[in-house]
Structure 1
């Protein structure tokens, strides 16, 4: 069973729209926003240290999706890509091989 991990950079409403769409797809077993364990803080030695977060582009939302097979996982990727384009948000997939 493919497990896809999706990182959405956008507003809470954008992430909720993507999650709602995924939950409506036939065959999707599980969709859940998971806690992001990586702190998103600047390193003191970073070239971006001290810069304003006003231009950051939005919050980061981690979403986990379980699909029954690779065909459905491909449908998830295509659907998310289309909606992310329409919403003008960034969506990145990081897949685990199960």
Structure 2
């Protein structure tokens, strides 16, 4: 069963909108928020906790779908939903997912 992971950078409301939109797609098997323990870590500590960085956070979502056609629909809906709210979205490839 194909698994899709995506990261949303924005506020919690944007992430919740994407989660709800993906949940509403027919035949999606599972939608789950994944804790990302590295999301608050920055290599460049000189800019850590500046006001520009404080409003956005990174959230990770994992979705299981029955086939690639539904997976493509999930990607389209997630990207459209995040884009309308001007949030960044990143799809994590299968070789980047720890099993």
User: TM-score range with shorter-chain normalisation?
Assistant: 0.7 to 0.9
Normalization by structure 2: what TM-score? 0.84
Aligned residues: 94
**Residue 3 of structure 2 corresponds to residue 3 of structure 1:** yes
Question: Paired residue for 1:63?
Answer: 61
CA gap 1:61/1:24 in 2 versus in 1, 3 angstroms:
same
Normalization by structure 1: what TM-score? 0.85
Distance 1:28 1:34 in 2: 17
Structure with higher helix content: 2
Computed over aligned residues only, the root mean square deviation of the Cα atoms, in angstroms, reads: 1.9
Which structure 2 residue ranges, 5 or more long, are not aligned? none
Which structure 1 residue ranges, 5 or more long, are not aligned? none
Distance 2:52 2:17 in 1: 22
